[in-house]
Amino acid sequence: MYIDNNGVVYNDYNEYIQSDKKLRNLTKYELLSNGKFEIYRNNLYAEYSKFCSLKYGTEMNKKYEQYLGIEDTLSEYEKKCCKQIYDSRRQKILRLKKKLTHVITNYDCLWLTLTFRDDVLDNTSEKTRRIYISRFLKSLNVPFYVANIDFGDKVKNLDSLEREHYHAVIQSDYLDMSLYNYGFIYVERIRNTTNSIKKISKYINKLTAHAYKDSTKGLNRLIYSRNR
């Protein structure tokens, strides 16, 4: 028999662990769905920006300033679950960066931008288009690939149409562009030379920065090769 801090009785400790895991998973799903995790994350960024402004005299980031102190609206249990989500995603991104760095610096790779025709966008769902991209990359039979969805950002790029597309890195030195039947494909070779170190870093940061964007249910949108 096991009794938790709230006085709930369980037959044994394993039953308590399973019950606690279900509660945590449910809470995490709710935090991602109702936007509270975003509040928690933005508060972390705000606190870091405040720290930098006080220590180094940098300007406080106006985008996150409004989130200072707002974490008090979360319960301690919600904060604990938010921290687990944040730490988990951070570790995933770090592992992805490490893998990408290894592949890009040791093998021939291509950077792809995959777009969709109007008729494809109008007659399919985002989920279906994700399947298209996944199938296309898998059909290339390359040792490694990773891709993510993007919509552009007019704040950073005024020319952006904020149109759905995908970015991908594949381990290959050649691609038959006629194999892609859903729109236009742009291909750029990633060269591992001294002069391109900054560009390689840009590739890695651009891909990983968007790799775990929140969907309405908090699911990551990463597509990657497995067991290669």
| CA torsion through residues 24, 25, 30, 35, sign | positive
More confident residue, 138 or 161: 138
pTM, entire model:
0.68
Residue 53 backbone dihedrals phi, psi, to 5 degrees:
-65, -35
Is-contact 3 10, C-beta < 8 A? Answer: yes
The predicted-structure confidence for 39-55, as pLDDT tens digits, reads as follows: 898 899 889 888 998 88
More confident residue, 119 or 195: 119
The predicted-structure confidence for 75-126, as pLDDT tens digits, reads as follows: 888 999 999 999 988 888 888 888 888 998 899 999 999 999 999 999 999 9
